[in-house]
């Protein structure tokens, strides 16, 4: 494993390397050239100014003063020759600086042509280089003479050695600092990562109650928040799963024990008593049906609840749907002596939705109404429209739901009365379908007066 600290260190070394490399090139390699360049430029500039002043008739006293200035600045000597080679002025604390006569002559001849020139030459005795600058006095054919400025070039080698030494010390110090910095910063950086990793590993092993306490406002803090969120969500899902298993097994227990009990009775006792046996067999069949419908509804619910359930939205006529439900309940209506009516403000309304699912919602509402309304009562399905929505209501004049029960009726396996024949799944299935449709929905109920379930659909 390549550690983060290692990578950080390599990057820091790279930065140090580049910085020092640049310094090295500028200071050591280019120093000499730069020094020569700036020295030449400065001496030339001041020399030309002085030559000009001399040409314009500067007196000897002032000239000496200026030459002295040059000497102080550049350690330079100044000589002025007339055009026929006669020396008319000289200022040099170290005459040797001016170099050998041959060179001087060469510079004189060149400059006399009218252009300022620069020569660099080696001084044997001083063992250092000398810069000779020749400047013509006057212009064109009227050149009156030549001024020669000579200055020693400082020993750059020594300076270079000093800089090298300093750079070496800086390099060592920087490498040490980078080691310390990477050590501490990578430690501070990896510590929360290790914490988060540890928590995630625990979660992977099934311990969902872990929490990461990284209190920083950066990306790592964000990651730890996400992990904490994840653990909370997983805990919730785990709780739901446990509840579901507990509920399902509870619901299955009663029919299963009934089936087992009657099957045993038939085997041991009533096997040959045709009438008793048949009535017990019908109970077994009824309970098997109930089990089957429990399994179907549970599967149905978990399918609708799954992440990737999307209602298949198509336009359809809600009247046709309600009519088909009415005919499915016609028999029950007659049998129970409960009237089933339909009411509308506009015939034929096309809505947008998953038709079979919407039919299931209304079916569940009507089915509940039949289960909780006494003989002689009524059930009404009404359809009303406004600009964009269609509201579907299923009302009954049954025994109603106590207000303290109302918040729970949508819960899975919730039944208001324990000996209710239902499975407690109808309303949770309806709720999931309506939420998948983004419908608004609700219930109003007054005990002993009646109940109304309603929901809305978008007009197509």
Ligand X SMILES: Nc1ncnc2c1ncn2[C@@H]1O[C@H](COP(=O)(O)OP(=O)(O)OP(=O)(O)O)[C@@H](O)[C@H]1O
Q: How far apart are alpha carbons 347 and 18 in whole angstroms?
A: 83
Q: How far apart are alpha carbons 224 and 194 in whole angstroms?
A: 11
* Nearest distance in Å: CB 356, ligand X: 17
Kindly tell me which of 303 and 348 has the beta carbon lying closer to ligand X: 303
Kindly tell me which of 300 and 384 has the beta carbon lying closer to Mg ion: 300
* Nearest distance in Å: CB 278, ligand X: 26
The size of the interface with Mg ion (CB under 5 A), counted in residues, is 3
Candidates 99, 150, 426, 450: give the one binding Mg ion (CB under 5 A): 426
451: partner contacted, choices Mg ion, ligand X, none (Cβ within 5-8 A by kind): ligand X
CB-based contact 371:338 (threshold 8 Å): no
Q: How far apart are alpha carbons 443 and 445 in whole angstroms?
A: 7
Kindly tell me which of 228 and 371 has the beta carbon lying closer to ligand X: 371
Kindly tell me which of 218 and 341 has the beta carbon lying closer to ligand X: 341
Which spans of this chain sit near ligand X (rule: CB under 6 A)? 297, 364, 368-369, 371-372, 396, 398, 400-401, 409, 414-417, 420, 422-428, 451
* Nearest distance in Å: CB 423, Mg ion: 7
CB-based contact 98:106 (threshold 8 Å): no
372: partner contacted, choices Mg ion, ligand X, none (Cβ within 5-8 A by kind): ligand X
Closest residue to ligand X, Cβ-based? 422
CB-based contact 443:379 (threshold 8 Å): no
Residue 373 engages Mg ion in binding (rule: CB under 5 A): no
Kindly tell me which of 224 and 445 has the beta carbon lying closer to Mg ion: 445
* Nearest distance in Å: CB 388, ligand X: 28
Residue 368 engages Mg ion in binding (rule: CB under 5 A): yes
| Part in contact with Mg ion (CB under 5 A); list of ranges 156-164, 222-230, 410-418, 422-430 | 422-430
Phi/psi for 219 (5° steps) reads: -60, -35
Kindly tell me which of 316 and 370 has the beta carbon lying closer to Mg ion: 370
409: partner contacted, choices ligand X, Mg ion, none (Cβ within 5-8 A by kind): ligand X
* Nearest distance in Å: CB 186, ligand X: 58
Closest CA to 366 of 331, 414, 390: 331
Radius of gyration of the chain (CA): 52
Closest CA to 131 of 112, 156, 114: 156
Closest CA to 451 of 408, 406, 407, 395: 395
CB-based contact 116:48 (threshold 8 Å): yes
Is residue 418 classed as helix, strand or coil in its secondary structure?
Answer: coil
Kindly tell me which of 192 and 424 has the beta carbon lying closer to ligand X: 424
* Nearest distance in Å: CB 263, ligand X: 25
Quick one: DSSP state of residue 403?
Answer: T
* Nearest distance in Å: CB 396, Mg ion: 12
Q: C-alpha distances in angstroms, 13 versus 19, 20, 169, 173, 423?
A: 10, 10, 15, 12, 71
Task: Write down the H helix ranges in 25-122.
Answer: 31-55, 60-74, 101-112
425: partner contacted, choices ligand X, Mg ion, none (Cβ within 5-8 A by kind): ligand X
458: partner contacted, choices Mg ion, ligand X, none (Cβ within 5-8 A by kind): none
Q: C-alpha distances in angstroms, 166 versus 21, 171, 174, 352?
A: 13, 9, 12, 81
| Part in contact with Mg ion (CB under 5 A); list of ranges 111-119, 159-167, 215-223, 361-369 | 361-369
Closest CA to 352 of 223, 456, 274: 456
* Nearest distance in Å: CB 410, Mg ion: 11
424: partner contacted, choices Mg ion, ligand X, none (Cβ within 5-8 A by kind): ligand X
Kindly tell me which of 70 and 369 has the beta carbon lying closer to Mg ion: 369
| Part in contact with Mg ion (CB under 5 A); list of ranges 15-23, 122-130, 178-186, 426-434 | 426-434
Is residue 401 classed as helix, strand or coil in its secondary structure?
Answer: coil
Kindly tell me which of 120 and 293 has the beta carbon lying closer to ligand X: 293
According to DSSP, the residues that pair with 443 across neighbouring strands are 453
* Nearest distance in Å: CB 420, Mg ion: 9
* Nearest distance in Å: CB 434, ligand X: 13
Q: How far apart are alpha carbons 438 and 455 in whole angstroms?
A: 10
Kindly tell me which of 36 and 443 has the beta carbon lying closer to Mg ion: 443
* Nearest distance in Å: CB 202, ligand X: 38
Residue with tokens 């600086």: 97
Kindly tell me which of 281 and 326 has the beta carbon lying closer to Mg ion: 326
Task: Write down the H helix ranges in 90-218.
Answer: 101-112, 156-204
What are the structure tokens assigned to 285, written together? 């069949």
Q: What is the binding site for Mg ion (CB under 5 A)?
A: 368, 422, 426
């Amino acid at each position: 494993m390549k550690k983060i600290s290692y990578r950080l260190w390599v990057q820091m070394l790279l930065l140090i390397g580049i910085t020092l490399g640049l310094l090295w090139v500028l200071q050591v390699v280019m120093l000499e050239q730069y020094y020569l360049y700036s020295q030449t430029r400065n001496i030339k500039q001041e020399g030309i100014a002085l030559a000009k002043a001399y040409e314009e008739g500067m007196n000897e006293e002032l000239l000496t003063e200026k030459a002295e200035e040059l000497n102080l600045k550049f350690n330079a000597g100044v000589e002025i020759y007339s055009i026929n080679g006669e020396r008319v002025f000289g200022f040099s604390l170290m005459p040797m600086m001016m170099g050998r006569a041959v060179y001087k002559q060469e510079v004189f001849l060149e400059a006399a042509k009218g252009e300022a020139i620069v020569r660099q030459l080696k001084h044997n005795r001083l063992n250092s280089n000398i810069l000779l600058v020749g400047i013509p006095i006057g212009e064109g054919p009227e050149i009156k003479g030549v001024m020669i400025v000579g200055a020693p070039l400082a020993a750059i080698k020594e300076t270079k050695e000093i800089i090298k030494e300093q750079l070496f010390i800086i390099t060592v110090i920087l490498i040490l600092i980078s080691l310390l910095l990477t050590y501490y910063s990578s430690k501070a950086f990896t510590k929360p990562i290790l914490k988060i990793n540890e928590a995630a590993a625990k979660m992977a092993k099934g311990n969902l109650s872990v929490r990461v306490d990284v209190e920083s406002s950066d990306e790592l803090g964000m990651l730890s928040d996400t992990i904490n969120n994840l653990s909370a969500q997983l805990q919730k899902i785990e709780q739901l799963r446990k509840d579901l298993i507990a509920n399902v097994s509870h619901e299955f227990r009663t029919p299963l024990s009934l089936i087992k009990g009657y099957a045993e009775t038939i085997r041991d006792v009533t096997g040959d008593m045709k009438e008793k046996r048949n009535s017990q067999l019908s109970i077994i069949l009824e309970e098997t049906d109930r089990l089957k419908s429990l399994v179907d509804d549970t599967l149905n619910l978990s399918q609708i609840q799954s992440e990737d359930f999307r209602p298949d939205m198509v336009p359809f006529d809600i009247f046709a749907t309600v009519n088909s439900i009415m005919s499915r309940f016609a028999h029950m209506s007659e049998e129970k002596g409960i009237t089933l009516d339909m009411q509308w403000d506009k015939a034929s309304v096309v809505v947008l939705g998953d038709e079979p699912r919407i039919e299931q919602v209304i079916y569940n509402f009507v089915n509940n109404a039949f289960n909780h309304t006494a003989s002689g009562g009524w059930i009404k399905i009404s359809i009303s429209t406004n600009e964009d929505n269609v509201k579907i209501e299923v009302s009954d004049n049954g025994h109603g739901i106590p207000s303290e029960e109302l918040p729970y009726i949508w819960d899975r396996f919730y039944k208001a009365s324990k000996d209710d024949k239902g499975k407690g799944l109808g309303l949770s299935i309806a709720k999931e379908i309506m939420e998948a449709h983004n419908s608004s929905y609700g219930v109003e109920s007054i005990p002993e007066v009646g109940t109304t379930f309603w929901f809305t659909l978008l007009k197509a």
